[in-house]
Amino acid sequence: MFTYTLDVLAAMQREAPGLYQAGDQQGAAPAGRTGGEWKRMAEKMRILKDEATGIYEQHDGYFDLPHVDVEKIPMSQVPIYKHWAYIRIFRHNMLKAARFPQLALFLQPGLYHGGKTSEL
């Protein structure tokens, strides 16, 4: 992340010094953070990625949380947000993002409308 920023800033200084200076004067460029400070931040940054699978952790320790097989949750407890305490939900490594179910709508737009797409 920070190394990308450093690379872009170096390229701007080389290839478009006028734009770099204009951005620096307007506060768009990270004034004072080129070089040492950005490099130090890059060295201290942790990327939470399992190298074996290539999967990024949701947060530090996420992969160590107890696993819940969502297929074994009784339908009487669905939706879990209505039936489980938040502390119970967030202490397990299940996907909690609301956007995940919406992925089906993106991949197959007519899936929930009898093959017809709806307009907002």
Please write the tens of the pLDDT for every residue from 62-114. 888 888 888 898 999 988 888 988 888 888 877 666 556 666 666 766 655 55
For the chain, the structural domain boundaries read 2-45, 59-107
- Whether the full predicted model's pTM is greater than 0.75, yes or no, is no
Cα 75 from chain centre = 29
Alpha-carbon torsion, ordered 65, 66, 71, 76, to 10 deg:
-100
Q: What's the CA gap between 50 and 60, in Å, rounded?
A: 11
Please write the tens of the pLDDT for every residue from 65-78. 888 888 898 999 98
Q: What's the CA gap between 93 and 95, in Å, rounded?
A: 7
